[in-house]
């Protein structure tokens, strides 16, 4: 089954403790992105990747890192999480240039206390 898998689905952590949210897709997609969704602000792009070893900042990259060492995986790293990073996070992938459908993971609800 074609899918984008994120883990964990829910995470509560403390300020400053490094964490990684994993994202994996099994569709051989080149494009992958991370978004965060906040009430009243909608979905905003954090980082994106056009292929292995090619990543770039989206609209709200501060406080986040990503890597793309393999085509299928695109982890999101929070080196020192802060409460303002409490949000719902989505990973998405698409086959080619993003004029086509993007597939989303199930989301990771992160709470930083």
Partner 1 sequence: EDKVVQSPLSLVVHEGDTVTLNCSYEVTNFRSLLWYKQEKKAPTFLFMLTSSGIEKKSGRLSSILDKKELSSILNITATQTGDSAIYLCAVPRPTMYSGGGADGLTFGKGTHLIIQP
* Interacting residue ranges for partner 1, rule: CB under 8 A: 4, 31, 33, 35, 40-45, 48, 50, 56, 58, 90, 92, 96-107
Of the pair 16, 96, the CB lying nearest partner 1 is at: 96
Of the pair 5, 20, the CB lying nearest partner 1 is at: 5
Pick from 96, 100, 95, 81: which is nearest to 36 by CA?
A: 81
User: How far apart are CB 22 and partner 1 at their closest, in Å?
Assistant: 15
The rounded Cα 40 to chain-centroid distance in angstroms is 20
Whether 109 and 10 have beta carbons less than 8 Å apart is answered as yes
User: How far apart are CB 87 and partner 1 at their closest, in Å?
Assistant: 14
Pick from 78, 70, 68: which is nearest to 108 by CA?
A: 78
């Amino acid at each position: 089954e074609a899918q984008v898998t994120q883990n964990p689905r829910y995470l509560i952590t403390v300020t400053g403790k490094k964490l990684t949210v994993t994202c994996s897709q099994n569709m051989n997609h080149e494009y992958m992105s991370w978004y965060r969704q906040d009430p009243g602000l909608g979905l905003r792009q954090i980082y994106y990747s056009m292929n292995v070893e090619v990543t770039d900042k989206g609209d709200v990259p501060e406080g986040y890192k990503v890597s793309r060492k393999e085509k299928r995986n695109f982890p999101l790293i929070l080196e020192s999480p802060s409460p303002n990073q409490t949000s719902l996070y989505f990973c998405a992938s698409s086959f080619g240039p993003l004029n086509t459908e993007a597939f989303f993971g199930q989301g990771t609800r992160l709470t930083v206390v």
